[in-house]
Amino acid sequence: WVMSWHLAFKGTGSNNTKLIPSHWSIALESSFASINAIVREQIGLRNEIYLPFIYSLFFFIIIANLIGNTPYSFTMTTSIVFSVGLSFTIFIGVTLMGWAKHGLHFFSFFIPSGTPLALVPLLVPIEVTSYLARAFSLGVR
């Protein structure tokens, strides 16, 4: 289904032969501008490399939800397996990318700044548990 929708609307957002943009093109450009503004505000200009992933993920989830509005169709995002699977996949990817980018300094994320050295053995397990529980809680929501 997704491929057929993609092929059906493949040329609707392009302006190769027109001087005045189409409604689809205007909608795609404004959605890109909105998501780009949010990404820039949250993660800064130098991390704009992640925009295509966030943009694709946004449209994947919105299309999956809109397909559920069709009578007698199944909304994929209502399945706990789909939601938790997507959440864990993104969680593992973000963790690996953070580890690759920051190396061992990535683990300083689990120790809040200004923490006394005596509290570090207590805080690290709490912070690791909180970090791991985030993937499950995002999937359940």
Same domain (yes/no): 33, 89: no
Q: CA 22 to CA 4: how far, in whole Å? A: 21
Q: CA 79 to CA 139: how far, in whole Å? A: 10
CA distances from residue 43 to 74, 122, 137, 140 in whole angstroms, order as listed:
34, 30, 22, 25
Tokens of 4: 């057929």
- Residues with pLDDT less than 50, the chain: none
Q: Which of 52, 74, 96 is the last residue of a domain?
A: 74
Largest Cα–Cα distance of the chain, in whole Å? 67
Identify the domain containing residue 45 by its residue range.
Answer: 21-74
Residue 33 belongs to some domain of the structure: yes
Same domain (yes/no): 121, 66: no
pLDDT of residue 10: 61
Predicted TM-score of the model (pTM): 0.71
Q: Quick check: 120 and 107 in contact, CB under 8 A? A: no
Q: CA 110 to CA 77: how far, in whole Å? A: 31
Same domain (yes/no): 141, 83: yes
Residue 16 belongs to some domain of the structure: no
pLDDT of residue 116: 85
Same domain (yes/no): 70, 106: no
